[in-house]
Structure 1
Amino acid sequence: MALFSSFFPKRFRLLWYFVGTYIVLSTIIRLVFIFWMLGEVDTSFFKIGNTLLIGFLFDVGTVSFFAIPYALYLLVFPKKWYGSLFDRIVTWFAYTLGLVIFLFSFFAEITFWEEFKNRFNFIAVDYLIYTYEVVKNINESYPIPLLVSGILLLTAFLLFMTKRKGIFHKTFNNETSFRQKLLPSAFFITIAAIFALFVKNKDAEQFENRYNNEIAKTGIYSFFAAFQNNELSFTDFYKTLPVNEVFAEVNNEFRKRGDSLLFPEKNLIYRNIGNTDSLPELKPNVIFICVESLSAKFLESFGSTENITPTLDSLANHSLFFTNLFANGTRTVRGMEAITLSIPPTPGRSIVKRENNQHLFTIGEVFKQKGYGRNFFYGGDGYFDNMNSFFGGNGFNIVDRGRGFLMDASITTTRTNIEDDEVTFENAWGIADGDIYNKVIKVADEAHSAGKPFFDFVMTTSNHRPYTYPEGKIDIPSGSGRSGAVKYTDYAIGEFLRKAQKKAWYKNTIIIIMADHCASSAGRQELDVKNYHIPGLMLNLPNTPPQKVDKMASQIDIFPTLFSLLNWNYNSNLYGTDVLKMKPEEERAFVGTYRKLGLLKGDDKVMVLGDQEVSNSYQWNRETNELLPLKEDETFLKEIISNYQTADYLFSNGGLKLNSLGLED
C-alpha cells in the first residue's frame, strides 16, 4: 500500500489519468489499424500479442515525454498553493492542450495511414515545411469543420468525464509532500531517458510482416524519430565493401557494355558512350511527361477492367512500350532523382531535397552538350519539395505558379510564371494537367520560333488527393476518388497530343510518358515489388517502329535508352543503360524506400539491404506478389552493395559534381 501511495499520490492523480487516457486511445488506434489491414497483418495469437505489447511499451515511452513538464511542475509547486487559481489555470490548460494534441495526432495518423500505410515517417516531417499545400489538400480532401468539431467535442467529453470522476478535486485537494512526489517524478524522467538514450523507433520492428512492425510503433514517437533521422549514412548503417572494390565491380559492368572510362584511376563512373554504328546523330525536341502516381495496374494493358486509361492503352500499340519497368522509389522526388541523375536511390532523403545538390551531372547536362534548351514545368509552386532549387541549380529554366521562393541567389536560370489567366482549374497541389500542357505547348511554340531544340521535363499534379479536376471532361465526377483522377490524367494527355499534333514542331518531337512512382507502395513485406511496376512509353521516335519492350528495367534507364536511339556519342555519369541492348543477365531494376534498398533481377530474384547491416534474398512470385526467402548469393550481394555504395559515395564525395568531372557549370 505504501508503494502504491508513493507511485499514485493524490497530487499526481490527474497526470496518471492523462497517461492512462493516452494509452487507451493509442491502443484503440492500434486495433483500428489491425482490423483495417486484417487481410495483410499477421494475426496469429503470438504475433498479435507481441504487436500490442511492443506498442504498449512505446506508448509508455511516448507519453512519458509529455508527462515530464507537468510532473516537474507538480514536484516543485509548493503544497500551500495546491488548488490556487494559478494552479487550476495551469492544470486545466495543460490537460486540455495535451488532449487536443493527442486527439489531433490520432486523426492525422488515420489520414496518413490511408495514404501511405505507414506510421509517421520523414514524409510527415517534410509536410510540416509545406504547410500551405498540405493544409489546403487536407481541407479539400476531408470535412475539416466536422472533424475539428469532433475533436473539440471529444476533448470536452473527456474533460467532463475527468471532472465527474473527481480527478481534478483529488489533484487540487490533498496533502502530498515533496518526498512523496519524488518517486512518480523520477519514474517519468527515467522512462523518458531510457527511450531517449537507448530505444530507437526501429526497435519496434520485430516481425517479418511490415504491417505488424508499423502497427507496433507509436505515431508521435515515429514522427520525432523521423525528424531526427531523415538522412542515413550508407557506410554507417549498411553492408559495405572496400571502396576500390565496389568501383571496380561497377565499372567492369560498364566496360562489358563497351563504355570507355575517362578517369579509370579515380573512384568515378564518368565514361564515354560511343555511337558504335557510326550513324548520324538525331536532335529532335523531347518532351518528358512525368505522371503523378501512375501505377501500371491502372492500364488495361496490364489487366485493369476499369477503362480509365483509354488514351494510354491506345498509345501502347503505337509507341516503344516498356512493359517490365519499375519505379526506383515511392515518392515524386525519388522519381525525379532517378530520372534526372540516373542513379540508384540513396538511403534517407532524396538527393532532390538534400543540401549541396546543385551543379550535378544530370540528363540535362547531356542535352546541354547537344545544344538543347532545358525547361522544368510544374503546375504548383516549385519550392515544394525543393524542386525549383534542384532543377534550377542544375541548369533548367523553371516554369511554375511562381508564388513561392525560387532558389538561392547564385542560381542564374530563368523563371516563368504560370499566370492566373492561363489557369482554368487549380487545387491544393497545382493547376489541372490540361492547363500545364497548354503552357508546355505555348513555350514549345516560342522555342520552335527561336530555332533551338528543347527538352521539357513536365511534372503533373492531377492524379493526387483530393482527386479534383475540371468538371465535364470525363464521366466520373471530380473529387470522387483515384479512378476519376487517373481518367482525367489520361484524358488530359490525349488532349495534349491532339493539340501538339497540329504544331509545326510535333513531327520532330519525341514524347516520353512515365510515372514518378505508383499510387501506393506499402505492403506487408520488406519491399512490395508489385507496387513499383509503372508504365513507360516513347512516342514519335524516328526510325524506330512501335514495339513492346519486355526487358526488365527501371527509371534510370529511360534516358540512356533514348540517347542510344538518337545515335548520340556522349560522356556520361549515369548508371542507366540502353534497355534495348540489355542481355538477359543484365536485366535489373533498383527499387527502394528511404531505408530498404532493393535490387530486382530479370529472373525475379530480389535482394534487399537493410539499415542494420543486414541483407535478405528472395524469389519474387509475380502472381501472388510474395517474396520467398532464398539462400544468399555472394555474387548477387556484391552487385547490390557495389551499386548502392558507389552511388552514395559519389554524391557524398562530390563525384556527381560537374567540376569534379572537368566540366564547367
Structure 2
Amino acid sequence: MHFFRFAPVRFLTLLASVWLTIFLITRCVLWLTHMDDAGGATLGTFATGLLYDLAFLAYALLPMTFYLLLCPARLWKTRLHRWMLQGLTCFSLFVMLFTAVAEWLFWDEFGVRFNFIAVDYLVYSDEVLNNILESYPIGKLLSTLAIIAIGLSLLLARPVRRAAEAPMPAARTKLAMGLGALALAGLCGLAVNQDTPRGQGGNAYQRELASNGPYQFFAAFRNNELDYAQFYGTLPATQAGNQLRSELQSADVSFVGQDPLDNRRAIDNPGTLRTPNIVLVTLESFSAKYMGSNGDARNLTPNLDALRKQSLYFNNFYATGTRTDRGLEAITLSIPPTPGRSIVKRTGRESGYASLGQQLTAKGYDAVFVYGGRGYFDNMNAFFSGNGYRVVDQSSVEESQISFKNAWGMADEDLYRQALNVADEDFAKNQPFFLQLLTTSNHRPYTFPDGRIDIASGNGRDGAVKYTDWAIGEFLAQARNKPWFSNTLFVFVADHTAGSAGKEDLPIANYHIPLFIYAPELLKAGEMSQLASQIDLAPTLLGLLNLDYTSTFYGRDLFREDGLAPRVLVGNYQHLGLFDGKDMAILSPRAGLRRHDDAKGQSIERHVQIDDPLILRTIAYYQAASHGFKQQLLSWNAGN
C-alpha cells in the first residue's frame, strides 16, 4: 500500500475515482429511465458494472500512467506542470461528462450501451455530426458541460495540488509500477470481454446496465466481424446441409452444388415469363405498429391504411436486423444476418453476389438503386454498383430538383420525383425497370418540408411517420397517371423497426414490419398471414415474374412454400435467432444455445443442447450462410 504515497499514484487514483463516480451516476440514471423494463437493479448488476468500469480504466489510464512515471522529478515540481495537471483534470472532467451525456442519448435512442451502431456513427461522421447538430442544441450543451467541468476542477484543485506535491518514486519503484499497470491491463484483456463477466441471456436491460459504455464501444470496434465457426455452435457439414435442404426444398427445385453447405439450386417457376416493372420502396425505420390498421389511434398512416385494402398485404412479416444495411442485405441478397458487420459494409467483399438486381438485369431490366442521401454512407454505393445496379443518389441530383434536405438527405417527395424521372426515361426506351428506393425522412432529426401535414417539422417521430405516409400517397397519385403504371408492381417494405431493444436479446415483436405489394391490374388484393421475413421478398418477386433462375437465396417464394416449416431469421450483430411462429432459438458467441418458449408471450428462457430441434434448424441456416460467404458460394456469374 506504500505505493499510494507517491505523486503519480495519487493523481491517477484521483482521476479514477472521479471516473468511477460518473460511471456510477450514469448507470443509476440509465436504470431509472428504464426501470420498468430492467426491473430491480441488483447489487450484482452494479458489482459487475464496477468490474467493467475498472477494466476500462486499466486500459484508459495506461498512457497517463507511463507519462507520469517517466516524468522527471524536476519537471514534476514546476508550477507550470502543476497547472498542466489542473488543466488535464478539467479536460478529463469534460470528457467524462460528455461521454455520460452521449451514453444517455444513445440509450434513449437504442436502449443499449455503445455498440456497433456507435462505431458506425464514428466512421460516417459527416452525416452523424450534421444529424446531431440538427437534433440537439449542441452549443448550449457543450457550454454547459464546460462550465460544470471547470467548476468541478476548481473544487478538486486542492487534491490535485496535494497529489502534485507528493514524493516521486525511485526508478526501481517506477519500473515495478509500470510493469504492474501492464499486467493489470493484460489480466483484464484475458478475463473481461463483451460477455464475461456479464453473461448471456436473462434480462437484456440489466445486462446492458452491467456494462461500461466506453468499454463496449472499443470492444465493438475490435470485434466488428465474428467468425461463425470460431464463436458459434456448429454441426457436421453433412448434417447441417441436409437440414438446410429440408428448409428450402420445394417442388421443382434441384440443388446443383457439390458442397453439402452449398444452397445453390435451380428454380423452375411454371408459366410464361413476365416482365412487369418493379418499384421497391424501402421505408426508413417504419414499424408495423405505426399503422392505424394495426391499432395505432394517432391517424399517422391514412394513405398506407387505405393502400392495405388495395394491396397484397403481409401481416406477419419481419425484419432480419436493427439497421438499414441489414435490411438492404436481406432484401437484396436474401441472406440471414451473419454475425458482425453486414455484407453491405464489408469493404472489399461487398460485391459480386447473385443479387436480386443481378437476376433482373440479366433479363433486360434497368436495375437502379435510388437513395435520398449520399450513397457512400454505409458503403451503399459500392454494394449496389457491385451487385448489378446503377446508382442515383443525392450527389447525382441537381440542387434545383431538391426542395428540402437535412443531414440524411433529400425529403421523400424529392426522392420519389427522381424515381418517377428514371421510370419515365426507361419507359421511353421500352426497357423494363427495377427501382429499389431507400427513404430517409423517418429518421432523427425528423424534419421535412413545411405545410405537408398537420404536425410541425422537427417535432418528433410522429410527424416523420405521417410525412412518410403523405409522401407515399403523393407518389402513388402521380404514378397512377403514368403510362407504365398498369404494368408495375409497387412494393413497400421497412428496412427495420424504429426500436428493437427489449428485455430479451431478440424481442421478436420489435422486428415486426409491414410489406405491401400493390399492382391493381396485375395482382389481386388480400391479406397474407404466413410467417415471413425480408429474405423471402426476392424469391417471391421473381416467382411473380415466373422467372427460372439459379438461386443463392436463403428465402422462399411465399406463394410456393409447399408446407415447409415456418420461420423467420433475426439478429443483432452477435445474437442470431430463428422464430418459428411460437418459440425463438438464439445462438450466441462462445457456442451459447438458448430457447425462448412462447417468445411473443411469457418468453420463458432456457439453455438447451445442440440436439434441440429448433437449435438444429437455426444452426443450419447461419452455418451455411457464413460458409457460403467465406467460400464465395453466393457469387454471381454469367451462367446463373
Q: 5 Å matches for 1:264-283?
A: 264=258, 267-276=261-270, 279-283=271-275
| Residue number in structure 2 paired with 1:67 | 61
Opposite residue 633 of structure 2, the aligned amino acid is G
| Residue number in structure 1 paired with 2:15 | 18
Q: Label 1:621 to 1:359 Cα distance change in 2 as closer, same or farther (>3 A).
A: closer
| Residue number in structure 1 paired with 2:162 | 170
| Residue number in structure 2 paired with 1:626 | 603
Q: Deviations over 1:349-385 (max 9, x none)?
A: 0010013121111011221222101000111100000
Are 1:609 and 2:593 matched, yes or no?
no
Shift of residue 190, structure 1, vs aligned partner: 3.3
Task: Show structure 2 runs of 5+ residues with no match.
Answer: none
Q: Label 1:301 to 1:231 Cα distance change in 2 as closer, same or farther (>3 A).
A: same
| Residue number in structure 2 paired with 1:499 | 478
| Residue number in structure 2 paired with 1:293 | 285
Q: Distance in 2 between matches of 1:231 and 1:595?
A: 9
Are 1:380 and 2:359 matched, yes or no?
no
Shift of residue 264, structure 1, vs aligned partner: 4.7
SS at match of 1:325: strand
Q: Distance in 2 between matches of 1:255 and 1:67?
A: 56
Opposite residue 324 of structure 2, the aligned amino acid is T
SS at match of 2:35: coil
| Residue number in structure 2 paired with 1:645 | 623
Q: 5 Å matches for 1:32-47?
A: 32-43=29-40
| Residue number in structure 1 paired with 2:489 | 510
Q: Distance in 2 between matches of 1:543 and 1:502?
A: 17
Q: Does the 8 A contact of 1:7 with 1:184 survive in 2?
A: no
Opposite residue 170 of structure 1, the aligned amino acid is R
Q: Distance in 1 between matches of 2:354 and 2:12?
A: 56
Q: Deviations over 1:150-170 (max 9, x none)?
A: 11111101211111xx12321
SS at match of 1:127: helix
Q: Deviations over 1:552-602 (max 9, x none)?
A: 000111221122222222221111112133355522111111011111113
Are 1:370 and 2:356 matched, yes or no?
no
Is the deviation greater in 387-396 or in 179-188? 179-188
| Residue number in structure 2 paired with 1:108 | 102
Q: Distance in 2 between matches of 1:232 and 1:637?
A: 19
Q: Distance in 1 between matches of 2:612 and 2:212?
A: 37
Q: Distance in 2 between matches of 1:157 and 1:615?
A: 50
Q: Deviations over 1:493-529 (max 9, x none)?
A: 0000001111111111110000000000011112111
Is the deviation greater in 172-181 or in 211-220? 172-181
SS at match of 2:156: helix
Q: Does the 8 A contact of 1:549 with 1:580 survive in 2?
A: no
Q: Distance in 1 between matches of 2:554 and 2:194?
A: 33
SS at match of 1:364: helix
SS at match of 1:39: helix
Corresponding residue to 2:532 among 553, 561, 567: 553
Q: Deviations over 1:462-519 (max 9, x none)?
A: 0001111111100011111111100000000000000111111111111000000000
Opposite residue 616 of structure 1, the aligned amino acid is R
Opposite residue 69 of structure 1, the aligned amino acid is P
Opposite residue 474 of structure 1, the aligned amino acid is I
Shift of residue 214, structure 1, vs aligned partner: 0.7
Q: Label 1:388 to 1:459 Cα distance change in 2 as closer, same or farther (>3 A).
A: same
Is the deviation greater in 462-471 or in 251-260? 251-260
| Residue number in structure 1 paired with 2:304 | 312
Q: Distance in 1 between matches of 2:169 and 2:592?
A: 52
SS at match of 1:203: coil
Are 1:192 and 2:189 matched, yes or no?
no
Corresponding residue to 2:561 among 564, 575, 582: 582
Corresponding residue pairs, total: 636
Q: Distance in 2 between matches of 1:458 and 1:401?
A: 12
Q: Deviations over 1:47-89 (max 9, x none)?
A: 6111111111211221232322222232233334432145235
Q: Percent identity?
A: 39
Q: 5 Å matches for 1:93-242?
A: 93-163=87-157, 166-178=158-170, 185=178, 187-206=180-199, 208-242=202-236
Q: Does the 8 A contact of 1:7 with 1:183 survive in 2?
A: no
Opposite residue 231 of structure 2, the aligned amino acid is F
Q: Deviations over 1:91-117 (max 9, x none)?
A: 234333322222221121111111111
Shift of residue 119, structure 1, vs aligned partner: 0.9
Q: Does the 8 A contact of 2:486 with 2:522 survive in 1?
A: no
Q: Distance in 2 between matches of 1:205 and 1:30?
A: 14
| Residue number in structure 2 paired with 1:572 | 551
Shift of residue 304, structure 1, vs aligned partner: 1.0
Opposite residue 416 of structure 2, the aligned amino acid is Y
Q: Does the 8 A contact of 2:593 with 2:607 survive in 1?
A: no
| Residue number in structure 2 paired with 1:408 | none
Shift of residue 10, structure 1, vs aligned partner: 4.4
Q: Does the 8 A contact of 2:369 with 2:437 survive in 1?
A: yes
Opposite residue 621 of structure 2, the aligned amino acid is N
Shift of residue 630, structure 1, vs aligned partner: 8.3
Q: Does the 8 A contact of 1:433 with 1:492 survive in 2?
A: yes
Opposite residue 345 of structure 1, the aligned amino acid is P
Are 1:78 and 2:72 matched, yes or no?
yes
Q: Does the 8 A contact of 1:204 with 1:213 survive in 2?
A: no
CA RMSD of aligned residues (A): 1.9
Opposite residue 387 of structure 2, the aligned amino acid is N
Q: Label 1:398 to 1:508 Cα distance change in 2 as closer, same or farther (>3 A).
A: same
Are 1:434 and 2:428 matched, yes or no?
no
Corresponding residue to 2:450 among 462, 466, 471: 471
| Residue number in structure 2 paired with 1:409 | none
Q: Label 1:662 to 1:89 Cα distance change in 2 as closer, same or farther (>3 A).
A: farther
Shift of residue 200, structure 1, vs aligned partner: 0.8
Q: Distance in 1 between matches of 2:605 and 2:560?
A: 30
SS at match of 1:580: coil
Q: Does the 8 A contact of 1:374 with 1:456 survive in 2?
A: yes
- TM-score (norm. length: structure 1): 0.92
Opposite residue 395 of structure 1, the aligned amino acid is G
Are 1:330 and 2:309 matched, yes or no?
no
Shift of residue 12, structure 1, vs aligned partner: 3.3
Q: Distance in 2 between matches of 1:23 and 1:175?
A: 25
SS at match of 1:230: coil
Q: Does the 8 A contact of 2:58 with 2:184 survive in 1?
A: yes
Shift of residue 131, structure 1, vs aligned partner: 0.9
Q: Does the 8 A contact of 1:528 with 1:625 survive in 2?
A: no
Are 1:532 and 2:511 matched, yes or no?
yes
Is the deviation greater in 611-620 or in 309-318? 611-620
Q: Distance in 1 between matches of 2:98 and 2:631?
A: 42
Q: Does the 8 A contact of 2:593 with 2:608 survive in 1?
A: no
Shift of residue 401, structure 1, vs aligned partner: 1.6
Task: Show structure 1 runs of 5+ residues with no match.
Answer: 403-416
Q: Label 1:200 to 1:629 Cα distance change in 2 as closer, same or farther (>3 A).
A: closer
Opposite residue 19 of structure 1, the aligned amino acid is A
Q: Distance in 1 between matches of 2:345 and 2:161?
A: 52
Q: Distance in 2 between matches of 1:116 and 1:500?
A: 36
Q: Does the 8 A contact of 1:79 with 1:177 survive in 2?
A: no
Q: Label 1:636 to 1:258 Cα distance change in 2 as closer, same or farther (>3 A).
A: farther
Q: Does the 8 A contact of 1:319 with 1:545 survive in 2?
A: yes
SS at match of 2:578: strand
Q: Distance in 2 between matches of 1:118 and 1:135?
A: 20
